[in-house]
Chain A
Amino acid sequence: DIQMTQSPSTLSASVGDRVTITCRASQRISIWLAWYQQKPGTAPKLLIYQASILESGVPSRFSGSGSGTEFTLTISSLQPDDFATYYCQQYNSPYTFGQGTKLEIK
């Protein structure tokens, strides 16, 4: 199976900050990488797929990059609504998720 490793596990930041979350795959996955945002008590929400394509309706302050084994999710200017947990997911079956990054208010 392909293992996904996210870093950091927890990230403390302030409104207006630029933040980056990294996801590494244990083997090459081309661009088959998605990012999700999850808030407590709700289902995950798809933000980005194919490593860099922004899902419809997602603010442009979110961006994704990478290919192969190394990927990043960047939020250019944090907004209050962005404090949540973020997961990467590789989607070469069987799919696997990273362990999550909790983005907290500093």
Chain B
Amino acid sequence: QVQLQESGPGLVKPSQTLSLTCSVSGGSVSSGSSYWSWIRQPAGKGLEWIGRIHTSGSTDYNPSLRGRVIISVDTSKNQFSLRLSSVTAADTAVYYCATDGSGTPERYWGQGTLVTVSS
């Protein structure tokens, strides 16, 4: 059973870069054929897919965020990370990390972490 845990600052200033890490247990970010994803949810609103990275290192991003988002992997720590630059209040949300299962989209999710963009 894969378990995921998000970590990072809960408060980021406008125009700065949001950085979050997802720690993985029960699975490996560097083996097999899995996608490691980030999804966010503003308070009281729906889910927005941010992007994903494959174990091969290839990435896909939400076009609405492309240019501001980078997802990367740290195989030595069995973690993957999200960097979102030039943040505004509109980026305030609960951020989830997730990964797929065999033939499924996001089967395993972290508990989510709230990031607030405010000065």
Q: Size range of the interface on A?
A: 20 to 34
A43 partner residues in chain B, CB cutoff 8 A: 96, 98, 109-112
Q: Is the CB of B46 within 8 A of A34?
A: no
Q: Size range of the interface on B?
A: 20 to 34
Q: Which of B9-17, B18-26, B57-65, B73-81 contacts A (4 or more CB under 8 A)?
A: B57-65
B52 partner residues in chain A, CB cutoff 8 A: 93, 95
**A94–B60 Cα gap in the complex (Å)?**
7
Q: Is the CB of A44 within 8 A of B47?
A: yes
Q: Is the CB of A93 within 8 A of B47?
A: no
B51 partner residues in chain A, CB cutoff 8 A: 94
Taking A44-B96, A95-B52 as known contacts, 8 extra A-B pairs with beta carbons closer than 8 A to each other, sorted by chain A number, are: A36-B106, A43-B96, A43-B98, A44-B109, A49-B105, A96-B49, A97-B49, A99-B46
Chain A residues within 8 Å of B, Cβ to Cβ = 1, 34, 36, 38, 42-46, 49-50, 55, 87, 89, 91, 93-100
